[in-house]
Amino acid sequence: MWPTLKGLRVIVGDEAALVRASVGMMINTLVAEGREDAEQDIIGIDWFDQWDWQQRCWLLDEVITSLLTQRPPPPPAAMWEATIDAIFCNIFDLACLEIDAPTPVHGTKTWRQSVIDAFRCQRDHEPCVTSDQCDPQLWQIVITQLADGILGTRMYQRAESFRDSEIEATRRFLASKGLPEDFLEQIPPLRSIDQTQLSIDRIQSLIC
């Protein structure tokens, strides 16, 4: 379960299907990185990209389990918000790749259609795009709105702006938002290969 704009809930239906598909692509890329078959795929969210591939697997495992099952969410931390942001940034990247692809795969549901279906599931109305829209900026708006429906205000981004200020200013901000003092300090643990494999197996069981 996750504390979304609609309250504490498990994401379901087409919203969950889109998240599962994105995480499936991400975990495949992370496994390739771990095998040294590929370079790191930079998502563009520093709070996610900065960790090693085993830590990123663990973050995805923890987040996807809380999003898709009845397990309570973890205590608030920047790393969780950033991981959800990374999942949706990956969706945007995949939609852009699809726009640039010369030929669609016949009979395959497109990423853009999946985004529309997820938006309809979450918001109960149609987004401002159709599945043949090729303007990346419009897709960024829609996908950001989807992420907003789960994350709300990205506190990790706002809190980060205080890090260069006095420590007391950061503490006051976190306290005013009901966030723990270690919101910006929590980091994913170092993971062994066996522990990472367990995370991968759990993720695969949830996204299949």
- The residue extents of the domains of the chain are 2-207
pLDDT at 103: 63
Assess contact for 139 and 92: CB atoms under 8 A: yes
**Which residues have C-beta within 8 Å of that of residue 167, sequence separation ≥ 6?**
none
Type of residue at 92:
F
Per-residue pLDDT tens digits for 167-179: 888 888 999 999 9
What one-letter code names the amino acid at 67? L
Q: Give every residue of the chain whose pLDDT is below 50, as ranges.
A: none
Instruction: Give dist(CA 142, CA 26) in Å, integer.
Output: 20
Q: What are phi and psi of 3, to 5 degrees?
A: -80, 90
pTM: 0.95
The H-or-E segment that residue 17 falls in is helix 13-34
Say what the pLDDT of residue 105 is: 56
Closest CA to 63 of 151, 164, 191: 151
- Identify which of 57, 27, 33, 45 has the alpha carbon closest to the alpha carbon of residue 191: 57
Q: In the 8-state DSSP scheme, what is residue 9?
A: E
Q: Residue 168: what pLDDT?
A: 86
Tens digit of each residue's pLDDT (9 = 90 or more) over 89-131? 999 999 999 999 866 555 678 999 999 999 999 999 999 999 9
